[in-house]
Amino acid sequence: MKKQTAGRDQLGAFAPKFAELNDDVLFGEVWSREEQLSPRDRSLITCASLLTQDVPQLEAHMNIAKQNGVTKEEMVELITHLAFYTGWPKAWSAFALAKEIFGE
């Protein structure tokens, strides 16, 4: 996985400690623990969590999931499964993102 710089790029001057924790700890130390969970599995888990929260970060993480090898079919299944646990409207919103990212 490439070095994450989104925290520093977007918040480095405004919230430098948060940016450091985002880039170095979350994406540096936690995401790099590939012996425990693969990046692909972490992407599935992260997308599931973000979908349940209905937050805008889902879009970025769907893109990361695609880069990490998650297929369109897997993302569709993830959203379908979670629709019953998190809510139909959230699933509809997630499908709109998935169509943009994974294509029709």
Q: Where in the chain is the domain with CATH 1.20.1290.10?
A: 38-102
Q: What is the pLDDT of residue 3?
A: 79
Residue 12 in contact with residue 35, Cβ under 8 Å?
A: no
CA gap 1, 67 in Å, rounded: 9
> pLDDT band at 91, cuts 50/70/90?
very high
Residue 77 has pLDDT above 80, yes or no: yes
- Return the pLDDT at 85: 96
Assess whether pLDDT exceeds 90 at residue 2. no
| 24-76 pLDDT tens trace | 999 999 999 999 999 999 999 999 999 999 999 999 999 999 999 999 999 99
CATH number of 38-102: 1.20.1290.10
Q: Which pTM does this prediction carry?
A: 0.89
Using CA atoms, how far residue 86 sits from 93, 95, 99, in Å, is 12, 14, 19
